[in-house]
Structure 1
Amino acid sequence: MLGKRQLLLAGAAGLLAAPAIRPAAAQDGSTWSQIRARGALRIGVTAAEPWFYKDPATEVWRGAAVAYGEKLAETLGVRMVPIETTWGNSVAAIQANQIDIMFVLDPTEQRRQAIDFPDSPFLYYALGAMTRGDTHATEWAELDRPGLRIGLVLGTTIDRFASEKLTRSTIERFASNDETVAAFAARRIDVVLQFHPALIAQRARLRMGTITLPRPVNAVPTSAGIRREPDTQWKDWLSARFRDYYENGTTQSLFETYLRSRNIDPATTPGITREAWGL
Structure 2
Amino acid sequence: MNSPDVSVSVPQATSIDAFLTENAPNADIQRFPGNAEAIAAFQAGRVDAVTLFDRSSIAARQKLGSGQIIVPPLVEPRPSSVVMRQESDLAFVNWVDEQIDGYYKSGQTQLWYEEFLSDFGLDPSTVPAIIRERL
What is the SS of the residue equivalent to 1:213? coil
Figure out how many residues of one structure are paired with residues of the other and give that number.
Answer: 135
Structure 1 ranges of 4+ moved more than 2 A = none
Alignment of 1:69-218 (within 5 A): 143-218=1-76
* 2:92 aligned with 1:243: no
Shift of 1:255: 0.8
Shift of 1:197: 2.3
Shift of 1:235: 1.1
* 2:87 aligned with 1:229: yes
Output the CA distance in 2 between the equivalents of 1:228 and 1:179.
Answer: 38
- Number of the residue aligned with 1:256: 114
Unmatched 5+ stretches in structure 2: none
Shift of 1:152: 0.7
Q: Which has the higher helix share?
A: 2
Output the CA distance in 2 between the equivalents of 1:243 and 1:257.
Answer: 19
Output the CA distance in 2 between the equivalents of 1:186 and 1:234.
Answer: 50
Shift of 1:190: 1.0
Q: Which has the higher strand share?
A: 1
TM-score of the pair, normalised by structure 1? 0.46
Shift of 1:199: 0.9
* Seq. identity, %: 35
Shift of 1:161: 1.5
Structure having the higher Rg: 1
- Can you list the C-alpha shifts for 1:138-196, whole angstroms capped at 9, x where unaligned? xxxxx011131111111111111122222211111111112211111111111111121
Q: CA RMSD in A?
A: 1.3
